[in-house]
Amino acid sequence: MPQPTAATGATSGAPRVTTRRGTELFMLVCSAVITTAALILVEISQEQTITRELFFYGLAFLALYGAAHFAVRRWAPYADPLILPLVALINGMGLVMLHRLDLAEVVGFPYTPKQIVFTTAGVVLFVLVLVFVKDHRTLAQYGYTCGFVGLALLALPGLLPSSISEANGAKLWINLGFVSIQPNEFAKILLLIFFASFLVSKRELFTTAGKRFLGVDWPRPRDLMPVIAAWLLSIGIVVLEKDLGTSLLFFGIVLVMIYIATERAVWVFLGLSMFALGCLVAFNLFDHVQDRVNSWLDPMVRVPDGARDPGYQLRTALFGMAHGGIDGTGLGAGMPQITPLSFSDFIIPSLAEELGLAGLMALLMVYLLLMMRGLRSALAVRDSFGKLFAGGLSFTIALQLFVVTGGVTGLIPMTGLTAPFLASGGSSMLANYMLIALLLRISDAARRPQTPPKPKPKQAPIAEAHTELVERPR
């Protein structure tokens, strides 16, 4: 903590702010260099040549994140200097793999230009959040409004005709013709604000009010009802829309936030028990859940000719990762285009094939550092709402990554989520940049030095005696 100066009593935090600026800018340059070098390797392997456009992409990448860097230093100068460079590196590797898949002509139209547009729009939205959200605590005042709007966004695709809302059997989209929007990506942030503000306002009631049963102090039903109702509605809506990945995400987020608010492991036990029961019910009610579980248990199962093969994606992804081995085939030298949806749901196996197990572990370590810095901000911030909100934001990234990586590697059944900042997707990119901007806002509040209160002027002994005589009761 910077010490106050003798002359003014203000904190001498300017040298540390300058150091943080230099560290962040240096790491952003490193991210741009790594991204450009990876693009060059892809071009050499696929086209046997190097074009000037690659260096233009590298400079544009650096300029884009340079603008984001100066926005952070302008409106959140004390924010963690590692968060933005880590996001830039992950996003850059996603652009590299999409460019590699475009060269292989996986689909009829290129995904890289679209992703660049989405990234630029995400950075613009990132800056706007920093500019207009000057204090994260003001969001707590709109908790119930955010919860209502979040539920409305979740329900909206289910209320629209299937022709403009359904894709691959799930009603997740709002297709406007020129652009498709996935509302649940934005709903998760709004519901995080609601759950955090509600748990802060009812924190004491969760631990003291109510009856004691089985050694646990249970909150009163009327205190618990709003969060349970919002939780069940959000999960029920996405289950009916066949979006089990988002329902699992909401379930995990609420469970972790309740645990952070109460610090009682019994809530984790109860939540996991409810999750196991919900999985059993979903397996017996929904055919698509049975298909995913069966393909997870045995992705090599043979199906009759002409029948749908639910295990084909996972099978080809596992073959691709086995082909890459420890050190990978090299960027541009693999065959990730064989796996369906290699540009979105299965982009992690595509990278694992060409970068190998070592490259995949390095990528996961970058994600792990991003989560750790977010959780560090949650621990350091001084207000309860900020702690819960930052913890929820960080855990959202962690749970998404676990669900995606576990699904494509056969650890858990596939659920349909995408890797944050890595996979192709406009709504996911915009929402995740909003998430990072809010996390940086909380980090800035947590790391900002506190100005010590001004000492009261000391009275002279005669003045003190006079005051005592005047104020002494007669």
Whether 444 shows a pLDDT value over 50: the answer reads: yes
What the block records as the tokens of 5 is: 């100066």
User: How many CB atoms sit inside 10 A of residue 410's CB?
Assistant: 17
138 belongs to a structural domain: yes
Phi-psi region of 132 (alpha: psi -120 to 50; beta: other; left: phi over 0): alpha
pLDDT over 90 (residue 463) = no
**Domains held by the chain: number:** 1
Inter-residue contact 231 to 250 (CB < 8 Å): yes
Q: Which of 281, 286, 282, 310 is nearest to 298 (CA)?
A: 310
Answer whether residue 461 is part of any domain.
Answer: no
Confidence of residue 96 (pLDDT cuts 50, 70, 90): very high
Radius of gyration of the chain (CA): 26
Q: Which helix (H) or strand (E) holds 196?
A: helix 183-201
Q: Percentage of the chain surpassing pLDDT 90?
A: 35
Q: Which of 150, 40, 50 is nearest to 96 (CA)?
A: 40
Predicted confidence band of residue 7 (pLDDT cuts 50, 70, 90): very low
Identity of the residue numbered 349: P
Top pLDDT among 235 and 435 is at 435
Which tens digit of pLDDT belongs to each residue from 357-393?
999 999 999 999 999 999 999 999 999 899 999 999 9
Query: How many helices (H) and strands (E) in the chain?
Result: 17, 6
More confident residue, 352 or 466: 352
- Residues β-bridged to residue 212: 217
Counted residue by residue, the chain has a size of: 474
What is the helix (H) or strand (E) element at residue 20, kind and residue range? helix 14-47
How do beta strands 170-171 and 174-175 pair?
A: unpaired
What residues make up the domain containing 211?
A: 14-449
The model's pLDDT over 316-355, given as tens digits with 9 standing for 90+, comes to 999 999 999 999 998 888 888 888 888 888 899 999 999 9
Q: Across the chain, what does the average pLDDT equal?
A: 81
DSSP 220: P
Q: Tell me the pLDDT tens digit for each residue of 26-83.
A: 899 999 999 999 998 888 888 777 777 778 888 889 899 999 999 999 999 999 999 9
The pLDDT-based confidence of 9 (bands split at 50, 70, 90) is very low
pLDDT of residue 333: 86
Distances (CA, A) of 214 to 16, 207, 217, 218: 51, 14, 9, 10
Q: Confirm whether 455 is domain-assigned.
A: no
- Domain assignment of residue 5, yes or no: no
In a domain, 474, yes or no: no
Has residue 471 been placed in a domain?
no
Say which range, 69-83, 183-197, 272-286, has the weakest mean pLDDT: 272-286
**Are residues 136 and 382 in contact, defined by beta-carbon separation less than 8 angstroms?**
no
Both tokens of 315, joined, read 């099978």
Q: What is the pLDDT of residue 15?
A: 58
Would you say residue 351 lies in a domain?
yes
Quote the Cα angle for 419-120-31, to 5°: 65
Cα–Cα nearest to 352, from 369, 335, 371:
335
Q: Taking a C-beta distance cutoff of 8 angstroms, is the pair 210, 219 a contact?
A: yes
Residue 456 domain-assigned (yes or no): no
Crossing angle between the packed helical segments 312-324 and 347-380, to the nearest 10 degrees: 90
Report whether 349 contacts 313 (CB < 8 A): no
Can you read off the two tokens belonging to residue 64? 């884009």
CA separation for the pair 344, 176 (Å, rounded): 20
